[in-house]
Amino acid sequence: MTIQHTGQHTLTGIGVSPGLAVGRPVWLRQSAAPAVERRTLQANEVASEVERFRAAVAEAKAQISRIRARVAKEIGEHEAQVFDAHLTFLEDPAYVGEIERKIEADAINAEAACADVTTATREMLQALPDEYLQARADDIRDVGQRLLRCLLGETAAAVAEDETTSVIWVADELMPSDLSALPKNVTGLASVGGSKTAHTAIMARTLGIPAVYGIGDALRDELADSDVVILNGDEGTLQVHPSPEEIAAAEKTVHERSVALERAREIAQRPAVTKDGVRIDVFANVGGPQDFAAALANGADGIGLFRTEFLYLENDHWPTEQEQYEVYRQALEAFGERPVIIRTLDIGGDKSLPYATLPTEENPFLGLRAIRYCLAETEVFRTQLRALLRASAHGTLWIMFPMVETLDELQAAKAWLERCRAELIQEGVAVAERIPVGIMVETPAAAMTADILAQESDFFSIGTNDLTQYTLAADRGNPSVSGLYNPAHPAVLRLIANTCSAAAKAGIPVGMCGEFAGDPVFTELLVGLGLQELSMSASFIPAVKEKVNATEGERARKLAEQALQLGRPEAVEALVKSPR
Ligand code: PEP
Ligand code: MG
């Protein structure tokens, strides 16, 4: 839709990620699908063509695994899960098997077979009544294009930009892999299609990049010769041919907002303290050394969750003790006296390792994941524990075990830790004298029996991402049930409250490192429920610290009491947003 102003146009779409951006529009991937030449094969070429195709599949898988790991680390696990669907396609006999069959049966080159099968699969998916499966049509297009590029030996279309000019990326449709490596000078996103729930919309919000989708064909028609555009993600508009005054005003606002953010970051360098003088630790969730600088710049009081699985996911082999030790030591040295909570390997569920012997499970989230896997594969566990213990001499290490739900598991994990400590001491290696050992509370079982688990834990950290899915029986990555998946559900809140009160009785600290902890809308409620530490993606820290500073303990407790009596998550959200 286009609204005519005096000489300028304002295109309207859906504001899928808030914020304002001014920049030069750059069409992304106009040569979307690589050109495909069709060739008939001689009989003696068929076998080598199939081999060539298989090599392209392997290359595409490797590329996607790398992108997945990077997105999980830099944007979030939830956003990264879209790439699991891509990997599944590359293992699906109905897709890759069909391409191979076509190369053989029709004696055509791999590119042509790939293009044909991708189009057919896409059309088939688009025609299905199920919305979730329809959305997979975008995935198959992304996968098909990647396969073609691998076959053609092309890398994905790179947009050459000088690093200083602010650029708005414009596309028919943005794909998750586009956003996985966003150049620094891209300050906004606009697209012809797309919706608020598109994976790339979620990624844009997490990255803090303003985005307007669903602008329609007007975007193609109107943009051609506009040197600068103003994108408003709050209002869902894109202004083309703005006047110099409008550009200046928008640039001023962008500048003011970034100054405000800088200011919030500065304040965030100080501890967050409630109005009645209670300090709440605000920590960062990290996936590896590339995240440490942002955590410190945003004022992290420590690391509340180091997801060590990325070390494993990024590698094509089990990371050695030495490789792990170096990374953990880097984290501990970067944070000095501030605590660094390193979580032991959380693999299984939706995170699979190509080189691990993970069983094929019907319900992987209910299967051999996290601490269960480590207690079954004790050499893997031992290697990590030794690396952690060796690193402990270089800072303030806390060790956290994921998905513990029985005292037996916790005792077994601690026994391995003690065994490794004894080994190292025997070998003359320095190990910190005291390392707090805690657990993630991620299952209803753990939350309900928190009093029992507290007997053997030095601290708790509540993982609401999993706690929510297990409590509400709603898969955290399945868009069809995303309406049910809500950590503000009173059932989840009551489990959080139970965990906090068990921790208080046992006199151990309790924190939270699921996504819920990073939403400033809920900060007061979480403080009222009794959380003493909140851990989140670095970019959320300043806003959460600001909320903590504005919180008054008694009011927060009353708010929590009220919330626990409500019946629906929407009512909880309305309560915490209501002026009080
Ligand atoms: C959680 O479950 O809340 C959590 C922080 O762990 P992850 O997201 O890595 O499963
Ligand atoms: Mg978890």
Give the domain range for residue 104. 43-152
- Residue 142: its pLDDT value, please? 84
Enter the DSSP assignment of 348.
Answer: B
In a domain, 135, yes or no: yes
Exposed / middle / buried, residue 499 (Cβ in 10 Å: 0-12, 13-18, 19+): buried
* DSSP annotation string for 161-178: --TTS-EEEEESS--HHH
Q: Give the mean pLDDT of the chain.
A: 89
Same domain, 99 and 167: no
Q: What is the pLDDT of residues 80-125, one digit of tens each?
A: 777 888 898 999 989 999 999 999 999 999 999 999 999 999 888 8
Same domain, 452 and 552: yes
Q: Are residues 292 and 334 in the same domain?
A: yes
Quick check: is 340 in a domain? yes
- Asked whether residue 106 falls in the same domain as residue 253, the answer is no
pLDDT at site 6: 43
CA of 463 to the centre of ligand 1 (A): 5
pLDDT at res. 5: 44
Q: Is residue 248, in this structure, part of any structural domain at all?
A: yes
Q: Are residues 396 and 278 in the same domain?
A: yes
**Whether the predicted pLDDT of 3 surpasses 70:** no
Q: What is the pLDDT of residue 503?
A: 98
CATH number at residue 208: 3.50.30.10
Task: Pull the structure tokens for residue 401.
Answer: 């075990």
More confident residue, 157 or 378: 378
Q: pTM of the full predicted structure?
A: 0.69
Closest residue by Cα to atom 3, ligand 1, is: 463
Distance of CA 292 from the midpoint of ligand 1 (Å): 19
Same domain, 542 and 443: yes
In a shared domain, residues 305 and 401: yes
Looking from the CA of residue 515, the nearest atom of ligand 1 is 3
**Closest-lying ligand 1 atom to the alpha carbon of residue 349:** 10
Same domain, 293 and 424: yes
pLDDT at res. 154: 63
- Measure the CA–CA gap between 288 and 311, rounded to whole angstroms: 7
> Nearest ligand, CA of residue 535?
1
Å from CA of 356 to ligand 2 middle: 19
Inside any domain, residue 34: no
Does any domain span residue 555?
A: yes
- Boundary of a domain, candidates 99, 125, 152: 152
Residue 276: CATH number of its domain? 3.20.20.60
Task: Let me know if residue 501 belongs to a domain.
Answer: yes
Q: What is the pLDDT of residues 508-550, one digit of tens each?
A: 999 999 989 999 999 999 999 999 999 998 888 999 999 999 9
What is the structure's pLDDT at 36? Answer: 83
Question: Do 403 and 525 lie in a common domain?
Answer: yes
Tally of domains within the chain: 3
| Last residue of one domain, picked from the residues 209, 243, 262 | 262
Asked whether residue 240 falls in the same domain as residue 351, the answer is no
Q: From the CA of 465, how far away is ligand 2's center (Å)?
A: 6
Q: Is 277 exposed, middle or buried (0-12, 13-18, 19+ CB in 10 A)?
A: exposed
Ligand number nearest CA of 343 is 1
159: pLDDT confidence band, cut at 50, 70 and 90? Answer: very low
Q: Which ligand is nearest to the CA of 518?
A: 1
Over residues 413-438, the pLDDT tens digits come to 999 999 999 999 999 999 999 999 99
Copy the structure tokens of residue 15: 């504001």
* 513 has catalytic annotation: yes
* CA distances (Å), origin 89, targets 46, 60, 81, 95, 103: 23, 11, 13, 6, 18
Residues in Cβ contact with 153 at an 8 Å cutoff, skipping those fewer than 6 apart: none
Range among 10-14, 15-19, 26-30 with highest mean pLDDT value: 10-14
Q: Tell me the mean pLDDT in the region 20-27.
A: 92
* Domain boundary residue, one of 207, 232, 262: 262
Choice among 86, 199, 394, 489 that is catalytic: 199
C-beta neighbour count of 257 within 10 angstroms: 12
Are both 377 and 275 inside the same structural domain? yes
Residue 322 located in a structural domain: yes
Q: Does the pLDDT at position 554 exceed 80?
A: yes
CB 67 within 8 A of CB 177: yes
CA distance 13 to 169: 15
58 plus 176 within the same structural domain:
no
DSSP 8-state secondary structure symbol assigned to residue 78: H
Ligand 1 binding pocket mutation candidate from 310, 346, 510 (most atoms within 8 A of CB): 346
Residue nearest ligand 1's atom 4 by CA: 463
Is 161 inside any structural domain?
yes
Most confident range (mean pLDDT) of 31-35, 169-173, 286-290, 460-464 is 460-464
> What residues flank ion ligand 2 with Cβ within 5 A?
442, 463, 466
CATH of residue 110: 1.10.274.10
